[in-house]
Homo-oligomer: A and B are copies of this chain.
Amino acid sequence: MSPKELYNVLNAVVPLYFSMLLAYSSIKHFKLFTADQCSGINRFVAIFAIPLLSFNFISRINPFHMHFLFLAADSLSKLFVLLLLLFWSHLFKNGSLDWSITLFSIATLPNTLVMGIPLLKSMYGDEQEDLMIQLVVMQSIIWYTVLLFLFEFRSARNSLMEKRSSNSVKEERGVSEEELVHVVVANYSLAENEIQRSQFVTKVSPELEEEEEDNEEKFPGIEELSKQQAGVCESSVQVFSREDEIMREEHEKSQIGRLSVLLILRLVCHKLIRNLNFYASVLGISWALISSRWNVKKPLMMENSITILSNAGLGMAMFSLGLFMAMQPSIIACGKRLAAYGMIIRFIAGPAFMALSSVLLGIRGTTLKVSIVQAALPQGIVPFVFAKEYDLHPEMLSTAVIFGMIVSLPVTILYYMALGS
């Protein structure tokens, strides 16, 4: 790699860090913004800047000319890591679903949109932008949904176990369909209440409501649960036994499993319809399909209207990250040991799995390099947002995001140098 090439990369990356550090020091040193004011900026980024940036990028690709081999390699590596972790959590004593979810996030979900596009473009040329956008599409439509499913599955299981262990009436029998459904339904109505309470009210789509009515025979409690949730929870909890193993087996084998999976999927849907990035990606890919199929272009007025705010996306996203960094009591919130593990998984294990599956699928040359370097980007923000929402190792994820930002600069450049240009 020539000094000129390194200089090009720095020209693309340093501005991102500049924006982040400006925000960091405007809080740490100048106290320019109060906490509320920061949350205003962050909300603007989350609600407008990033979704419009996603839409703007995604709507420009040609979905009929995607690099399917590259995407397959990406999916393969993610799937491989996920199965490995689930295997570990199910079959090993020290395995845990909680850590499986966290490690999956850290190993496989980098910050492709904000960091990946400018960095990889500067390293391997403008034509890599398309590859990065394709990864963004996969991430936001498929992999974030998978992650949400894992989180919802975990919280359904946890509520069940909690209620069991707090239950004084021990009836020595297996778990019935009714029981598991009750818990998932309780979670479901909790989520519904949460939606109603939340500032950003999204009306439940009519189809879902219809479905609910159809299901009434099967789960007579749904409507009531929503209304008198606490009471119903208590009564439904009374029949739970403590037998974890039986529950697990039942859960996997019987009718119950399938039913609760359906309900968890519904919970995931509920989360997704409140997730603007998911909307932005689905709309973006839909537009891309239409525009590539029938060669339609966005009216310039619409294009410009999106661009004027999505232009703010890149800088503002980094600024928002800097504000977040400054608001944390510590950059390494999860402790040094865990941070070190996190960094190894993010910057070594993740790229290694990606390299492995790319090579397995016969990817060579620049695309192989791109696939490895993009896997060594700092942690994506969305997994951190989920981790915080579900309160699952948020300090580990925040460290991966913040400390990862700092570590990734030399690391990606090292990868770049090692792989040759």
Interfacial residues, chain A to chain B (CB-CB below 8 A)? 10-12, 14-16, 18-19, 22, 26, 30-34, 36-41, 43-44, 47-48, 199-200, 300-301, 304-305, 307-309, 311-312, 314-316, 318-319
**Pairwise interchain contact A308-B315, C-beta atoms closer than 8 A:** yes
CA distance A151 to B322 in the complex (A): 38
Contact of A312 among B12, B16, B300, B311 (CB under 8 A): B311
Contact of A14 among B200, B305, B318 (CB under 8 A): B305
**Pairwise interchain contact B301-A15, C-beta atoms closer than 8 A:** yes
B residues near A37, Cβ cutoff 8 Å: 36-37, 39-40, 43
Nearest residue (CB) in B for A320 is: B44
Contact of A40 among B15, B19, B41 (CB under 8 A): B41
Q: A44-B41, A311-B311 are in contact. Are A18 and B318 (CB under 8 A)?
A: no
CA distance A11 to B308 in the complex (A): 12
B residues near A12, Cβ cutoff 8 Å: 304
Contact of A19 among B36, B200, B308 (CB under 8 A): B308
**Pairwise interchain contact A32-B43, C-beta atoms closer than 8 A:** yes
**Pairwise interchain contact A315-B309, C-beta atoms closer than 8 A:** yes
B residues near A38, Cβ cutoff 8 Å: 40
**Pairwise interchain contact B199-A15, C-beta atoms closer than 8 A:** no
Shortest Cβ distance from residue A303 to the other chain B in the assembled complex, whole angstroms: 9
B residues near A200, Cβ cutoff 8 Å: 30, 32
Contact of A308 among B16, B43, B309 (CB under 8 A): B16
CA distance A316 to B33 in the complex (A): 17
**Pairwise interchain contact A309-B19, C-beta atoms closer than 8 A:** yes
Q: A33-B43, A37-B40, A38-B40 are in contact. Are A10 and B309 (CB under 8 A)?
A: no
Shortest Cβ distance from residue A374 to the other chain B in the assembled complex, whole angstroms: 20
Most chain B C-beta atoms within 10 Å of own C-beta, residue among A14, A44, A316: A44
Shortest Cβ distance from residue A160 to the other chain B in the assembled complex, whole angstroms: 35
**Pairwise interchain contact B314-A319, C-beta atoms closer than 8 A:** no
**Pairwise interchain contact B47-A15, C-beta atoms closer than 8 A:** no
Contact of A22 among B34, B48, B314 (CB under 8 A): B48
Contact of A34 among B33, B36, B311 (CB under 8 A): B36
Shortest Cβ distance from residue A95 to the other chain B in the assembled complex, whole angstroms: 42
Besides A11-B304, A37-B40, A309-B315, 8 other A-B contacts (C-beta < 8 A): A16-B308, A32-B199, A33-B40, A37-B43, A40-B40, A308-B318, A311-B314, A312-B315
CA distance A314 to B311 in the complex (A): 9
Nearest residue (CB) in B for A49 is: B312
**Pairwise interchain contact A36-B33, C-beta atoms closer than 8 A:** no
CA distance A14 to B303 in the complex (A): 11
